Chains A and B, each alone.
Chain A
Amino acid sequence: MKLARDTWLIFQRQLLLMWRTPIWLIVGVVQPLFYLLLFAPLLRPVLAPGGSYAQAYRIYVPGLLTALVIMGGLFTGFSLLGELRAGIIERTRVTPVSRTALLLGRAMREVVALLVQAVIITLVALPFGLTVPFGLLLLAYLLLGLLALMASSVSFGLALMVRSDAALAPVLNTIAQPIALLSGVLLPLSLAPGWLRAVADWNPFYWAVEGIRALFAGHLGDASVWRSLVLVSALTVVAVLWSARLFTDRVR
């Protein structure tokens, strides 16, 4: 009860602050739009040989959205470093506020911000013929939301561990690059050589992307859908618990 209330308090404040500096929305949307509008035509012959834009987007958009939430989530740790420097975290820590709420309220802000961007990108892709059944789209957003929650929790945890901008940047890049490449977020791994596909089989994000692609394609019954939901849910729980522990122990 207290956790929910405190999370809501932090979340509201974070949302208000974000609303006041809408630059994130502009950057967060414009960049993926470039990918959407400029890259997709280039990739159509590869993604959907002889096919339509709609088919290409059905493969491309899920990858783009997954990349967006993972990257966006992973790099949110910098905002926490700013708050640590300003003494805001310390100030809240001497109050009885729930430590886990300090994490969850912030992570939920990131989830909302990323989902807003995801919705905008989906809407823009519609005129190009992207069609997704509404219910399946919601399920895809649920997966994306979980990915965003996981990535931002991991990012906050790492920020608490390294505690400096200079150290956080390389750490995040090291993590983000292989994840993005190996999940086949931008290109499907079916284009990749066999060994690369074998490695990707062990990458949970690959499963997430495949799940979202299946949903966009309208295949609710595809094994990758439930598999990705189970996997991503489990990993999100682990990430949140790990980060929440750091918030309890390490926030000084």
Chain B
Amino acid sequence: MIVTKGLRKSFRSRRSAPVDAVRGLDLTVEPGEIFGLLGPNGAGKTTTMRMLATLVRPDDGEVTLAGADLRTEPHEVRRRIGYVAQGGGTTDGASAREELVLQARFYGIGKAEAGRRAEQALAAFELTEFADRPCAGYSGGQRRRVDLALGVIHRPRLLILDEPTVGLDPQSRAQVWAEVRRLREEGMTVLLTTHYLDEADALCDRIAIVDHGELVAEGAPEQLKREISGDVVTLELAAADAEAAEKVLTGLDCVHRIEPREGDELRLYVTDGASAIPQLLHALAEAGLRPEQTRLQRPSLDDVFLARTGRTIS
């Protein structure tokens, strides 16, 4: 549904050095999947999305979206995809219904049909209750649902969502994700970015992690987590013991990597948690140390990011 090869964009300005926002991105998104583009702030996610949405001209690279070539057929791309920007784009003075009708008309849809589609969209996105009030009075979550409804009013095969849940309360976030799942069930392919890695983990079929405009990992969340061999053991130690403990544990065979966390916590990446914990505790006891808490976890996407970039995402 999306194929990008060597997608590249740098922003030049007179005052400062050029910013290489996206540096040769190769992505493939299959039809029908929810694909998450993850990465820290400034990684180039929005720039990538804006290039795909025909808003920013790439410096280089080949892109095909829903069968249309981005460079030679931007008009066709616009017809076939829906895009919802990071900040949305509703008009304060217009109502959700008016916005939906106008948006449909922009796609060449006739007046009567646009009205029908707006009505359906209002029902599907649970907007009917306040459909005829001006958007200025909507809550963040309501506005976001209008944005989503606007993005799919022309029934695109591919929907691109930039940070669809940023700034929303947990309940609205869950609602947005439910809508995204529903759209996928209706056969839409969804490409999205998000900061919330746990949510991406639960929602996305596949993800790509970008950092400094480059791809650092791509695959199904399960697969990426599996590639970080083994489990994560978190040890909470008494004040000031962390350093001593780190020294003791570094030598152990079963420990691949140790990440000190704030508050005298150690995160250990181990081959197999169940067999590693007794060894860890034994080694610590011999050195006269005793963790206050020991937790065993499967690795999360945070750990994937940490393993691939050496930094945490937030």
Report which A residues bind B (CB closer than 8 A): 2, 6, 9, 13, 16-17, 20-21, 83, 86-97, 252
Cα separation A87 to B154 with both chains bound (whole Å): 19
Cα separation A210 to B4 with both chains bound (whole Å): 59
Asked if A17 and B91 sit within 8 Å, CB to CB, the answer is yes
Known A88-B89, A90-B89, A95-B107; contact A17-B55, beta-carbon cutoff 8 A? no
At the interface, yes or no: B70 with Cβ under 8 Å from chain A?
no
Cα separation A95 to B54 with both chains bound (whole Å): 10
Asked if A91 and B78 sit within 8 Å, CB to CB, the answer is no
B59 to chain A, nearest CB (A): 15
Asked if A252 and B89 sit within 8 Å, CB to CB, the answer is no
List, in ascending order, chain B residues with CB within 8 A of A6's CB: 106
Closest to B108 in A: A96
Cα separation A65 to B98 with both chains bound (whole Å): 34
List, in ascending order, chain A residues with CB within 8 A of B300's CB: none
Closest to B76 in A: A96
Cα separation A155 to B79 with both chains bound (whole Å): 30
Asked if B91 and A95 sit within 8 Å, CB to CB, the answer is no
What's the interface size class on B, roughly?
Answer: 20 to 34
At the interface, yes or no: B58 with Cβ under 8 Å from chain A?
no
B90 to chain A, nearest CB (A): 8
At the interface, yes or no: B306 with Cβ under 8 Å from chain A?
no
A-contacting residues, B13-68, CB 8 Å: 50, 53-56
At the interface, yes or no: B103 with Cβ under 8 Å from chain A?
yes
List, in ascending order, chain A residues with CB within 8 A of B105's CB: 9
List, in ascending order, chain A residues with CB within 8 A of B87's CB: 87
Cα separation A96 to B107 with both chains bound (whole Å): 6
Taking A17-B91, A21-B93 as known contacts, 8 extra A-B pairs with beta carbons closer than 8 A to each other, sorted by chain A number, are A9-B105, A16-B94, A86-B90, A91-B103, A91-B150, A94-B83, A95-B103, A96-B79
Asked if A95 and B94 sit within 8 Å, CB to CB, the answer is no
Which residue of the partner chain, among B89, B107, B154, contacts A91 with CB atoms under 8 Å? B89
List, in ascending order, chain B residues with CB within 8 A of A17's CB: 91, 93-94
A-contacting residues, B81-132, CB 8 Å: 81-83, 85, 87-94, 98, 102-103, 105-108
The 22 listed contacts between A and B (C-beta, < 8 Å) are A6-B106, A9-B105, A9-B106, A13-B91, A16-B94, A16-B98, A21-B93, A86-B92, A87-B87, A87-B89, A88-B91, A89-B89, A90-B85, A91-B88, A91-B150, A92-B89, A93-B55, A94-B53, A94-B55, A94-B81, A95-B78, A252-B50
At the interface, yes or no: B75 with Cβ under 8 Å from chain A?
yes
Closest to A13 in B: B102
Cα separation A83 to B91 with both chains bound (whole Å): 8
List, in ascending order, chain B residues with CB within 8 A of A9's CB: 102, 105-106
* Most A Cβ at <10 Å: residue of B79, B85, B93: B93
A218 to chain B, nearest CB (A): 43
A228 to chain B, nearest CB (A): 37
Known A6-B106, A96-B79, A96-B107; contact A91-B85, beta-carbon cutoff 8 A? yes
